[in-house]
Amino acid sequence: LIQPEYFKFASSTAAGLVIVGKRLDDCSRLQLIHKNPYWAFAKTSQIFAPSIKQSGSISQKAHISESARIGANTTIYPNVVVDDHARVGDHCVLYPGTYIGRHASIGNSTVLRANVVIEHDCKIGERVLIHAGTVIGSDGFGFAPGEHDIAKIPQVGNVVVGDDVEIGAGSTIDRAAMGETRIGQGCKLDSSVHVAHNVHIGDHSMVCGGAHIAGSAKLGRWNILAGASNVTNHVTTAERVTIGAMAGVTKSLKESGEYMGFPAVPMREWRRQIASVRRLESLFERVRKLEQLKELKDKE
Amino acid sequence: LIQPEYFKFASSTAAGLVIVGKRLDDCSRLQLIHKNPYWAFAKTSQIFAPSIKQSGSISQKAHISESARIGANTTIYPNVVVDDHARVGDHCVLYPGTYIGRHASIGNSTVLRANVVIEHDCKIGERVLIHAGTVIGSDGFGFAPGEHDIAKIPQVGNVVVGDDVEIGAGSTIDRAAMGETRIGQGCKLDSSVHVAHNVHIGDHSMVCGGAHIAGSAKLGRWNILAGASNVTNHVTTAERVTIGAMAGVTKSLKESGEYMGFPAVPMREWRRQIASVRRLESLFERVRKLEQLKELKDKE
Amino acid sequence: LIQPEYFKFASSTAAGLVIVGKRLDDCSRLQLIHKNPYWAFAKTSQIFAPSIKQSGSISQKAHISESARIGANTTIYPNVVVDDHARVGDHCVLYPGTYIGRHASIGNSTVLRANVVIEHDCKIGERVLIHAGTVIGSDGFGFAPGEHDIAKIPQVGNVVVGDDVEIGAGSTIDRAAMGETRIGQGCKLDSSVHVAHNVHIGDHSMVCGGAHIAGSAKLGRWNILAGASNVTNHVTTAERVTIGAMAGVTKSLKESGEYMGFPAVPMREWRRQIASVRRLESLFERVRKLEQLKELKDKE
């Protein structure tokens, strides 16, 4: 019960339990009171969510390198390939078509859904969930244009994904040129997100669908990037920065708060800009009138 | 023959057939007359398009669960995995690397190209074509930020794709938190499109490449979303709404018509906004002149 | 040593070699002098980059059609499918889960990473590198809306990728309706890029992450498209055109140079537009003052 318009149903609901931010007097049902009722709802829902029973065994149709190590009670579906010297933890689930590259490591209780690719040397934390078709550790976009060709800068770094991270489907996280591309602990990334090489995303940040983070950007903790937003390369952001939908950050943001537009500015400034642009035609008209007056006066 | 500049060739063409909107007098060739010649061209082309002969059989290298049901005359390539209790209709084609999750169902005559993923419980209609690498039914982006972590809201709904839908390559359509994410009958989605959880797209809508539709948006029938456009969460649109390239819809649109810009406004309004912004520098100059005049007058 | 702020370290560095644009007097280390030091750095790095030893053999768990031809010393991982009449050159590497469609051809020394899909009839050049999950040759978005349905225009063309091209992960390049979608020689495309049907990209162009190029656009040589930029359908660009981040090209660009904004304009013009919009609120205030003065005068 987060939105006030639902409060009126509290007295008549047939629900066994209502989750509220403050105790409701006018409600005879069991009340779960938490200052953050949405979060409490999420936690409660998790108890009731169906979980799929896994076999805990390795399919005969999977291809596991002899030098790879697989933990206890890990389920591996058909058509999974685990390459040389890769390590997969305990209680993991690897769905069909996933590929784990050489020397990559997957922490305990991590789930990779169908056709996920973890490239060589990348490190995935514990209790991570990566959705279908996502690619971790593809080469970063490092090139030096010359006179007659464009030379590739070898991408010899990797990607490190922290514990308790979730990454949506069809996303791409590129490996670092040198060092690490880093997805902080507890981050949640949506589907169709692109994270370029050497980006660091601070712990507990959220990145919504279609967002793109360009090379070497460093985001603070608890950032939120709304849908289809964009962060330019080498930019840094403070803690608790929120970037609005379709906004594009072109300069480092040293203050927490909400930003919007392209180039992104503080939300209040953007609102004023938009309001001004919408009234702009009338301003032309007003200036025209002043000019006409001037002409009239000149003639007098 | 849609564009008038081609009409002059009608008298001299060697083509066996011309497709026209109105009967051409100056043309001795066979004329196919249809008020919508582009649509008639498409329908005619389909007759001549090459179709690949399929084996109608199931590869020994596919992995079909014993509890799954496969229809008659369906072709299944190597490395396909059909999970427990999934159902695949008659005359389907499943290309290599496709994965059909538990209890998912695929209608008759549907084609899934290589590495497509249909997650558990999703329902795909008849005569649907889904291009390579697309993921249907990945978890929606439902999270409740708390003080110390971000809690996942279990995504227990599914995706329902109507009959005669086509979806491009590398797209992602997320499953509903509860209920359905719904792609209406006859919709056509391009490559690299993202549809978030609980979105409903009305029948016969078209969504172009790189468009993103955020959570719980409800689009009317016959909508067209141009390339890289964006619809914000919880927004609804009327029938026959067209969103221009790179436009972002932030509020519900109750009127049919064309919209453009961010935040999206009716096309005519956007055109005026852009024209005003382009002349804005000159306006500053004009105001400067008026102010100078005032100063002069004040001195007088 | 490209950036001047690093020059001061030249005298004290312990590096065995410094790469510079001009000879440094104050440096006792070995100097590699090249007018384009960034490019020289890239070329030098390639010498030292680790290369993975490949088996040069075909996995027993791959599925190669009897009518397909595979060159000498080519490595094929498990779960690769090469369909009828496809041709793969010498010294190639096909990672797990790649699918090569009927009559497709792959040039010598080309590497396709995991789960890449090359659809039927597409032609990939020599020394091409395509990252995981990318799809080449999915149907273009060709549809003709009718009264009661939307008719598909069969996409009977293909995609031709030139020599020395690199394409990132999770990208999609659609096949032509008729003729070719063409990626010129030496082009570099990032991850999460979408190229629509019948697009031609000129040689040595770079396309950054999240960019979308709409149908039949023709880009000149040495173009650079920054992150999340967009090119509208049927647009053409000159040589050495650079499109800024999140910019959208809506009209053909006949002059080389940098463009920005939506609709894209020359960079200098865009800078002035943005500056004007930011000062717009103050302009309203100035006009208000002029109007007040007028009113005062009218009262006199």
Tell me the per-residue pLDDT of C177-211, one tens digit each, with 9 for 90 and over: 999 999 999 999 999 999 999 999 999 999 999 99
Asked if residue C294 has pLDDT above 80, the reply is: no
HSE-CB at A200 with a 13 A cutoff on CA atoms is: 13
Asked whether A137 and A159 are in contact (CB, 8 A), the reply is yes
What is the predicted pLDDT for the residue at C5? 66
**Banded pLDDT at C101 (limits 50, 70, 90):** very high
Among A21-30, A263-272, B159-168, C232-241, the range scoring the smallest mean pLDDT is: A21-30
Instruction: Tell me the average pLDDT across A31-36.
Output: 90
| Helix residue ranges, H only, B150-214 | none
Tell me the per-residue pLDDT of C151-160, one tens digit each, with 9 for 90 and over: 999 999 999 9
> For this structure, is A91 an active site residue?
no
Distance CA A70, CA A90 (A): 7
Q: Do A214 and C245 touch (CB under 8 A)?
A: yes
Phi, psi of C163 (to 5 degrees): -70, 155
Among B86, B91, B138, B131, which Cα is nearest to B113's?
B131
Tell me which residue has tokens 């950007």: A217
CA distance A39 to chain C (A): 32
> B287: nearest CA in chain A?
A287
Contacts of B220 (CB under 8 A, 6+ apart): B202, B205, B236, B237, B238, B239, B240, B241
Contacts of B44 (CB under 8 A, 6+ apart): B17, B19, B32
The helix (H) or strand (E) run that includes residue A297 is helix A280-299
Asked if residue A259 has pLDDT above 60, the reply is: yes
- Which residues of B belong to the active site? 197
Distance CA A119, CA A68 (A): 14
HSE-CB at B201 with a 13 A cutoff on CA atoms is: 33
Asked if residue C300 has pLDDT above 70, the reply is: no
Which of B137-141, C2-6, C7-11 holds the top average pLDDT?
B137-141
**Banded pLDDT at C1 (limits 50, 70, 90):** low
**Banded pLDDT at A235 (limits 50, 70, 90):** very high
Tell me the per-residue pLDDT of A167-195, one tens digit each, with 9 for 90 and over: 999 999 999 999 999 999 999 999 999 99
Chains touching chain A at 3 or more Cβ pairs under 8 angstroms? B, C
Asked if residue A93 has pLDDT above 80, the reply is: yes
What's the gap between Cα A283 and its chain centre?
A: 41
Average pLDDT value for chain A: 94
CA distance B152 to chain A (A): 6
Tell me the per-residue pLDDT of C224-248, one tens digit each, with 9 for 90 and over: 999 999 999 999 999 999 999 999 9
Asked if residue C11 has pLDDT above 80, the reply is: no
Q: What are A23's two structure tokens?
A: 């105790």
Among A3, A19, A45, the strongest candidate for a mutation testing the B interface, having the largest count of B CBs within 10 A, is A45
Distance CA B261, CA C262 (A): 9
Instruction: Tell me the average pLDDT across A115-136.
Output: 98
Among A73, A78, A82, which Cα is nearest to A53's?
A73
Contacts of C144 (CB under 8 A, 6+ apart): B36, B38, B39, B41, B42, C150, C151, C153
What is the predicted pLDDT for the residue at A16? 82
Q: Kindly report each contact of residues A13-18 with a partner whose C-beta sits within 8 Å and lies 24 or more positions away, as own/partner.
A: A17/A44
Strand partners, B112: B94, B130
ipTM > 0.90 (yes/no)? yes
Tell me the per-residue pLDDT of B85-130, one tens digit each, with 9 for 90 and over: 999 999 999 999 999 999 999 999 999 999 999 999 999 999 999 9
Average pLDDT value for chain C: 94
HSE-CB at A131 with a 13 A cutoff on CA atoms is: 32
Strand partners, A194: A172, A212
Asked whether C75 and C89 are in contact (CB, 8 A), the reply is no
Q: What's the pTM value of the predicted model, to 2 decimals? A: 0.95
Question: Which whole-number Å values give the CA distances from A89 to A71, A86, A133, C20, C114, in the listed order?
Answer: 5, 10, 21, 46, 22
Question: Which whole-number Å values give the CA distances from A137 to A181, B100, B205, C16, in the listed order?
Answer: 9, 26, 35, 30
Asked whether B163 and B127 are in contact (CB, 8 A), the reply is yes
Alpha-carbon Rg of chain A, whole angstroms?
26
Asked whether A136 and A130 are in contact (CB, 8 A), the reply is yes
Whether the bond between C263 and the residue before it is cis, its omega within 30 degrees of 0, is: yes
What is the predicted pLDDT for the residue at C18? 87
Asked if residue B156 has pLDDT above 60, the reply is: yes
Contacts of A110 (CB under 8 A, 6+ apart): A89, A92, A124, A125, A126, A127, A128, A129, A130
Task: Choose among A115, A188, A210: nearest Cβ to B97.
Answer: A115
Instruction: Tell me the average pLDDT across A124-151.
Output: 97
Distance CA A161, CA A61 (A): 28
- Cβ–Cβ pairs < 8 A, chains A and B: 178
Instruction: Tell me the average pLDDT across A29-46.
Output: 90
* Concatenated DSSP letters of chain C: --SGGGGGGTTT---SEEEESS--TT--SEEEE-SSHHHHHHHHHHHHS-------SB-TTSEE-TT-EE-TT-EE-TT-EE-TT-EE-TT-EE-TT-EE-TT-EE-TT-EE-TT-EE-TT-EE-TT-EE-TT-EEEEPP--EEE-SSSEEE-----EEEE-TT-EE-TT-EEEPPSSSEEEE-TT-EE-TT-EE-TT-EE-TT-EE-TT-EE-TT-EE-TT-EE-TT-EE-TT-BB-TTEEE-TT-EE-S-B-S-EEEETTTTEEHHHHHHHHHHHHTHHHHHHHHHHHHHHHHHHHH-
Tally Cβ neighbours within 10 Å of residue A295: 9
Name every chain C residue with its beta carbon within 8 A of the beta carbon of B188.
141, 143, 150, 152
Asked whether C85 and C102 are in contact (CB, 8 A), the reply is yes
Name every chain B residue with its beta carbon within 8 A of the beta carbon of A242.
none
DSSP B286: H
CA distance C259 to chain B (A): 15
Asked whether A143 and A153 are in contact (CB, 8 A), the reply is yes
> A196: nearest CA in chain C?
C209
Asked if residue C287 has pLDDT above 60, the reply is: yes
Asked if residue C6 has pLDDT above 90, the reply is: no
What is the predicted pLDDT for the residue at A20? 87
What is the predicted pLDDT for the residue at B27? 80
> What is the torsion angle, in degrees rounded to the nearest 10, for the CA atoms of residue C201, residue C205, residue C209 and residue C214?
-20
CA distance C42 to chain A (A): 5
Name every chain B residue with its beta carbon within 8 A of the beta carbon of A59.
63
**Banded pLDDT at B10 (limits 50, 70, 90):** confident
Instruction: Tell me the average pLDDT across A241-264.
Output: 98
Question: Which whole-number Å values give the CA distances from B293 to A295, B279, B287, C279, in the listed order?
Answer: 11, 22, 10, 21
Among A97-101, A187-191, C44-48, the range scoring the smallest mean pLDDT is: C44-48
Distance CA B126, CA B92 (A): 9
Name every chain B residue with its beta carbon within 8 A of the beta carbon of C196.
190-191, 209, 227
Distance CA C165, CA A149 (A): 11
Higher pLDDT: A224 or A50? It is: A224
Q: Do A141 and C170 touch (CB under 8 A)?
A: no
Distance CA A30, CA B87 (A): 42
Beta strand extents in A6-164 (DSSP E only): 17-20, 30-33, 63-64, 69-70, 75-76, 81-82, 87-88, 93-94, 99-100, 105-106, 111-112, 117-118, 123-124, 129-130, 135-138, 143-145, 150-152, 158-161
- Strand pairing class (A241-243; A257-260): parallel
**Banded pLDDT at C64 (limits 50, 70, 90):** very high
What is the predicted pLDDT for the residue at C160? 98
What is the predicted pLDDT for the residue at A95? 98
Give A137-175 as a 3 state SS string: EECCCCEEECCCCEEECCCCCEEEECCCCEECCCCEEEC
Q: What are A110's two structure tokens?
A: 């991590």
Distance CA B27, CA B7 (A): 9
Tally Cβ neighbours within 10 Å of residue A9: 13
Tell me which residue has tokens 């030091």: C37
Distance CA C137, CA A239 (A): 42
Instruction: Tell me the average pLDDT across B206-227.
Output: 98
**Banded pLDDT at A5 (limits 50, 70, 90):** low
Task: Choose among A170, A172, A214: nearest Cβ to C168.
Answer: A172
What's the gap between Cα A246 and its chain centre?
A: 14
**Banded pLDDT at A27 (limits 50, 70, 90):** confident
Contacts of B26 (CB under 8 A, 6+ apart): B10, B11
Task: Choose among A101, A143, A210: nearest Cβ to C188.
Answer: A143
- B267-278 vs A267-278: helix crossing angle, rounded to 10: 100
Contacts of C285 (CB under 8 A, 6+ apart): none
Tell me which residue has tokens 């329908």: B43
Distance CA C230, CA A58 (A): 45
Phi, psi of C262 (to 5 degrees): -135, 120
Share of chain A above pLDDT 70, in %: 97
What is the predicted pLDDT for the residue at B28? 80
Average pLDDT value for chain B: 94
Among B44, B45, B46, B292, the strongest candidate for a mutation testing the C interface, having the largest count of C CBs within 10 A, is B45
